[in-house]
A and B are shown apart, each in its own frame.
Chain A
Amino acid sequence: MNWGVDRVTVAFGDTIALDEVSVELDRGEIAVVVGGDGAGKTTLCRTIVGLEQVTSGETSRPSRTCFQPETSGVWADLTVVENLEFVAGGYGLDTAHTRSRIDELLEVTGLRSASDRLGRQLSGGMRQKLGVAMAVLSEPDLLVLDEPTTGLDPVSRLELWSFINRSALEGRGVLISTTYVDEAERADTVVALDEGRVLATGSVESIVQSMPGRLFTADEKKGLTSWHRGHAWRVWSPDGAEVPNATETQPDLADVVTVAAIDREVGQ
């Protein structure tokens, strides 16, 4: 294993928050953990950075690991620059390097005009960008970002992703949790979680190819294995049998994750 978790189980009393979950990533790779509310994304992020005790399994991270919590991790009573300076001080960066690094990050994130604004005066998007900037400031080997794009408008999401991609290109391992399946399409590795268990894992292509059965698009609902998508219905045929009055469709990641969830539900 490079960095990540290997067959990790995390329990809070009788509740299993993560059940034998594995994620692995290396320098320059982006791993996206996707799932709905309560899927275990935050627990997984916290486990990787060492904030949760594991019941079983192994975790591994480089000594220079930085984390952005779900709440953005920005100090509300400090200005943008003061937040960055505090983090730089915490990581022991020298003054000259800190100044140039903060300058660079303010430019890249577009936060220069807000540099004197308090954390609590920032918009949601600006706060998340500052949170990510604080996490990358010390040039860590591994960056763990817990739902950095949740609640952001599409433009802010794009800007944030461009910043995240840049971090990976600089050689950082980046693990991001998100509720948006479309964001997972950008990843080298995807882990789809549901109720603490892995629904699907691997590259986007391998996950899509691994879908059992066939997928169709129809105008109406056809049984328990169909769901609404866009203006039509997707119908999953687990045994690959033809579905009447439906057109076979090439699945994408969102379809495969939904199929995995249905498969699990039906299996239970």
Chain B
Amino acid sequence: MLAMIRKEFKQVTRDRRTLAMLIIMPVVLLLVFGYAASFDVDEIPAVVVGPDAVEAAERLPDLFAVESIHVEETGADAESALVAGDAHVAVVADSAAPTILIDGSELFMAQAALQATTAMQAQVPGLSSEVLFNPELDTSAVLVPGLAGLIIVFVGTLVTSMSVVREREAGTMEQLAVMPFKPKDVFVGKIAPYFLIASIDIVIVLLIGTLLFDVPFNGPVFPLALGALMFLFVALGLGVLISSISENQAQAIQLALMTVLPQVMLSGIIFPLSSMAPGVRWIGYLLPLTYFNEVAKGVMVRGAGLGDLLVPIGLLVALGSVIFGLAIVRFAGQLTPARAKVPA
């Protein structure tokens, strides 16, 4: 038995990259997730509109971080700001009927805003509140759009990363390199099945979400399809990139998990980004799932259109260009044979 234990220890310590990941990464993840794991909402971005907006903004509790005050705007403008995701609370300051509109797509913020509003109602006579988009504050309505993103990450990154490494481990990558394929042919061919599978998965998840869990689908399909397409490119690119720097499938899985876990924890699907410590929150802003979650929730729950979601979609395009570009360069570098004199 001792011989067996000794052999296993030798094998484990030989793969230093994996060993480093096994020891260092849990510490890093614990620290990062420890600072991220918070449902406490300290600040809710708010807009204040209406003729009494200036006075109302002054009387708002500290929880509401006033982003802008528009005296000339109405309740409809305030609602548009919530749809666009510019704020999560809108105060319509009209002395006749002051109203606080709350974005129901941000569950924890909405609950905190409701509590604060209830406390305010004792001091402000006639103050009413309304939760928009998800009046029942239904958890599945908020989680299902993010889950669709998680499935893209799983298929796009985790599975793709293994598929390319498997090709290299089997020695068939050399075959492909010598065959008259261009690197882009192999690259596109490699990711095409996963692209299709992930696309079908998204449709299935969203159908089940809307039909079985009554998740609303309030917006147009196009911005969501565009966002999903861009996000899929990022996820697939990440998968190929990981496989291009991994020596074997085990390393590829570990590396892929290292990119999947932060996306689960730090993209705002579970914990609100605004509740995270600032340093950790910035990691969240670098993760593609953060922006897909914004697009999916924006379209499905808030009914946002393309114009409202240009920023997250644009950021997905930017992230996709960087990650996909790096993946292509690394992939082509491994696949393109060294130059040799080829006689005519």
Contact = CB atoms under 8 A, between A and B. Distances in A.
B343 A53 contact: no
Nearest to B176: A90
Contact of B340 (A61, A69, A72, A90): A61
Contacts of B338: 47, 50-54
Contacts of B342: 60-63
A71 B178 contact: no
Contacts of B174: 46, 51, 67, 69, 73
B177 interface: yes
B7 interface: no
Interface string A54-74: 100011111101110111111
Which of B175, B181, B342, B343 has most chain A Cβ within 10 Å? B175
Nearest to A87: B179
B259 to A, nearest CB: 26
B180 A49 contact: no
B179 A75 contact: no
A12 interface: no
A71 B168 CA distance: 11
Nearest to A50: B337
A92 interface: yes
Interface string B73-100: 0000000000000000000000000000
Interface residues of B, number: 18
B6 interface: no
A60 B341 contact: yes
A52 B177 CA distance: 11
Interface in B172-192: 172, 174-181
A62 B343 contact: yes
Contacts, number: 64
A65 B170 contact: no
Main secondary structure of the interface of A (DSSP, over half): loop
Nearest to B179: A90
B339 interface: yes
Contacts of A71: 170-172
Nearest to A131: B175
B341 A59 contact: yes
A63 B181 CA distance: 13
Given A61-B342, A65-B178, A67-B178, A72 B171 contact: yes
Contact of A73 (B171, B337, B341, B343): B171
B211 to A, nearest CB: 35
Contacts of A60: 340-343
Contacts of B175: 67, 69, 73, 87, 134
Of listed B174, B337, B338, B340, residue having the most chain A CB within 10 A: B340
A63 B337 CA distance: 13
Interface in A233-257: none
A51 B337 contact: yes
Interface string A103-115: 0000000000000
A76 interface: yes
Contact of A91 (B170, B176, B180, B341): B180
A204 B138 CA distance: 82
B328 to A, nearest CB: 19
Contacts of A66: 178
Interface of A: 3, 46-54, 58-63, 65-67, 69-76, 87, 90-92, 134
Given A73-B171, A134-B175, 18 more contacts: A3-B343, A48-B340, A49-B178, A50-B338, A50-B339, A51-B174, A51-B338, A52-B338, A59-B341, A60-B340, A61-B341, A65-B178, A66-B178, A67-B175, A71-B171, A73-B174, A90-B176, A91-B179
| 5 tightest Cβ-Cβ pairs between the two chains A and B | A71-B171, A50-B337, A59-B340, A53-B338, A73-B175
17 contacts: A3-B343, A46-B174, A47-B338, A50-B337, A51-B177, A59-B340, A59-B341, A61-B342, A63-B342, A65-B178, A69-B175, A72-B171, A74-B172, A75-B170, A87-B175, A87-B179, A91-B179
